[in-house]
A and B are shown apart, each in its own frame.
Chain A
C-alpha cells in the first residue's frame, strides 16, 4: 500500500509525464499482442482494392459435359469456387477482347477460383488435371491470375512492427525522464525510511497498472495473442526494471 501511495504521489506531481508513460507502454503492449488484429484492420482499411483471389478462366467445348468437369474440379483440394459465366457476360468480355462472337455458341465459359494463399504448384496441378480430363481441342485455358494479397499483408505487418518499435523508443525516453523524479523520491524513502529497492517497487506498481489496463483489452479483443502479450510485457518489464535499478539522486 505504501508503494501504491508513493506511485500516486509521483503521479500527482507529474501527471502529464505519467500519462504519457502509461499511454506509450499500453500502446506498445497492445500493438504487439494484437498484431494480427491490427494487420487485419489495416488491410481492410488500406488494401481493400488490391484484395483478389487466384483464379483462371477456361472455355469448354459444348460437346463436353461441363457439369462433369465442374463436379470433378469442385472436389479438388484448394478449389474455392467454380462459377459458370453467363452468355451475356461472356459476350461482353469477348467484345472487349475483340474475339469472334460465334465462340458463345460453341463454348461454355467457366471460372475456377482458388483458396487464398494457395501455392502456385497446387494451382498448376489443378490446371494439369483439367488438361488431362478434357481433350486439348475441346478446351481453351486462360492465364492464371495470381492473388496480390500476400504482399500488402507482409508490408502491413512490417509497418505495425516498426510502429511498435517507435512506440517502445518513445516509451523508453519518456520513462527515463519520469524516473528522474521517481528515483529522487525513492532515494529519500530509502534514506529516511530504511526501505530497500524503493524505485523497483514503485516501478512494479506501474507495471501492475499496465498489466491491469491491458488485461482489460485482452479480455475484450478476441484476437489478442497470449504469447505476444507475455512477450511484450516481458520486454516492457525488463526495460522498466533495468532503468529503475540504479537508485541515485540524479539531475
Chain B
C-alpha cells in the first residue's frame, strides 16, 4: 500500500477516539398498509471503536434498518443509542449504500473525484495517487473513464467502495458492499478495509447476507433474524 494514503491520517473528532457505542433495547417498526412490521425487536449490543463488525442475516432481517440507525438516518422508536448517532460525533463517516448511489452519466473517475476535499486529501495529486493505487488493486484503473451506465454490477460496487474509502473515514458503514462480487474481488476489498482498519483505526460495520463469505475474515459478527440478535461472537466461530 502506498505510504501517502495514511500520511495525514487525522480523526475528525479526536476527543472521541476511544468511544464505544452502546445500543440498548432498540426497537423500530414501520407500517406496510395496515400491517405493523417490527424491523428491529429489542436489540442491544456494543460497537467498539476500531473494530470490524459484520451484520449478517437473511433479507428483511433488519440489517439495513440497523445501519440507518447507526448513521442517524433513522431514529429508534424506543431504546437508546449512547452517546448518539455516529454521524453526529464522527462527520467522517462513510456509507456504502445498497443501491450504490452512483451518478450514471458520469465516468468512474468523475464519480470518485466528487469526494476530493482539500482539507482531507491535501493536494489533488495526492488524492489521485491514492485513487490510482486503489484502482489498480481492484483492477479498475484501466476503466476509470468508463461511464457508470456502461459498468456491470460488480464494477459499480467496486466504485461505490472506492468512493467511500477514498474519504479516509473514521467509520465505514457498508450495506451489502460485495453482493455482486466474486470471492476474489470481495477478498481484495476486505484486504483494503483491513489495512485501513489497522493503520487508521477505522471502525467498520459491514452488513451482508452471505455468512460463508464473512466467516473467512477476521472481525466480530452479529447474526440477526426477524429483528433479533441470534448470534454474537467472532466471525470464524459462527
Contact = CB atoms under 8 A, between A and B. Distances in A.
Interface of A: 9, 13-14, 181, 184-185, 187-189, 191-194, 249
A101 B163 CA distance: 99
Contacts of B114: 185, 188-189, 192-193
Interface string B82-102: 000000000110110000010
Contact of A192 (B12, B94, B105, B110): B94
Contacts of B105: 13-14, 181
Name which of A184, A188, A191 has the most chain B CB atoms within 10 A of its CB: A191
B115 A192 contact: yes
B167 interface: yes
Given A192-B115, A192-B167, A184 B103 contact: yes
5 contacts: A13-B105, A188-B101, A188-B103, A188-B114, A192-B164
Binding site secondary structure of chain B = loop
A14 B95 CA distance: 27
B153 to A, nearest CB: 18
B45 interface: no
Nearest to A194: B91
A185 to B, nearest CB: 7
Given A185-B114, A188-B114, A194 B92 contact: yes
B106 interface: yes
Contacts of B12: 194
A189 B95 CA distance: 13
B101 A193 contact: no
B117 interface: yes
Interface in B115-174: 115, 117, 163-164, 167
Nearest to B103: A184
Contacts of B92: 194
A185 B115 CA distance: 11
B106 A13 contact: yes
Contact of A249 (B91, B101, B115, B167): B101
A214 to B, nearest CB: 30
A14 B106 CA distance: 11
A187 B101 contact: yes
B18 to A, nearest CB: 22
A188 B113 CA distance: 11
Contacts of B164: 192
Contacts of A9: 110
A9 B106 CA distance: 10
Contacts of A194: 12, 91-92, 117
A10 to B, nearest CB: 10
A192 B103 contact: no
A61 to B, nearest CB: 87
A251 to B, nearest CB: 10
Given A188-B101, A194-B117, 7 more contacts: A9-B110, A14-B105, A185-B114, A191-B94, A192-B114, A194-B12, A194-B92
